[in-house]
Structure 1
Amino acid sequence: MSDAMLARLGQAFLDTIAMVGVSAGIALLAGIPLALFLVLSSPGGIVAAPAAHRAVAAVVNGFRATPFIVLLVALLPLTRLLTGTTIGVWAAIVPLSVSATPFFARIAEVSLREVDAGLIEAAQAMGCRRRHIVRHVLLPEALPGLVGGFTITLVSMIGASAMAGAVGAGGLGDLAIRYGYQRFDTTVMAIVIAVLVALVCLVQFAGDAAVRRLRVR
């Protein structure tokens, strides 16, 4: 592999890290409040609001059911409005964030629902306010599951970022398509695949280690 190709590989790796990192941060900041709303507003929840719950759940399910490549194209007008372009790293962050947020929200919702109802009832019996229950009971007890779910989301986003290369988003996927597939360079394709596999394994290992540490506390 030439020095120029190595430089392209390094830049593509950094672009992928930027896309996934920024999008993951947005998904985390938006996904947890969304999951909390779905749990708290559900029938029998602390702040039951069935109508609002059904409406938000329908929107979340709609985005989750849409394939990423379709969502990528459908969001082009919004992407252009927010970033001024439809290609490149920053343009890919918009559909990645929109796709990852409901995905992570549903995983986080499952973790929050697994918190022992007895703990919530005990907190209510002691006169704790709703925000205190969320902050001191729900989130701490669900933290290992939230970290595990966020790890799954990161792995999914790495795959989605590679798919975004099909429309000129940059990153490892773009490198594999332009130089590996279109120019029939199997070496480039193999190296990109190896880098993606290594990145996924590293993320999964770090996430699993964090979950184990949280569960032994």
Structure 2
Amino acid sequence: MIFTEDIGAYESMKLRLLNGAHQVLAYIGLLRGHRFTHGAVADPVVRRWLDAYWQDLALPTLDLPDGIDGDDYIRTLVERFGNPAIADTLERLATDSGARMAKFVLPVLVDARNRPGFAELTAVILESWAFAVTSSSSDLITSGVPSDTRATITEGKSLLSAVDWLGPLSMDDVLSHAMTAVRKTFDLLGPSDGLEHLLPQGSGRAQEVF
């Protein structure tokens, strides 16, 4: 047990490294055909996207509590996600998906806007969420995403303008361009193969496809 007065730093670490990662894992894992977290995190494609989220977006936006090593904390999360005895489902992680993305992932994205490779990586995360929401038959996953919003996304209109909680990023033309490219890749190859095609290269950044 840890006793600390630095509650804010610990809360931010949990929200961005644990809860935010749950969202990335859920939608990319679902598009790769997984049902459980342990199966998703064992998939090299899913794991590399998860690592890219942690290392390129989440960790650089955090002021970690004194004495906490971010990489060590992430290793404990990987062990937890990969434990088949827990058998947590991706559907559960994706419940009320819009609200969870807005609370756990959007703050990371807003703070990481000036990071190298931001647009390419963020485009994959957001388009994976959108594809999962519009293709899922699960009421848990689609809950909290209005039917008109899902219809707008399905019609191929701009995700940044269609989703209210993405307002802080709505004027980012580079991100919008990157999202169009990711969506075209998903349409051409299918989301599972598209995620593999777009995998981060040596730098950890998503492959540019435009």
Q: Same fold (TM over 0.5)?
A: no
Bigger Cα Rg: 1
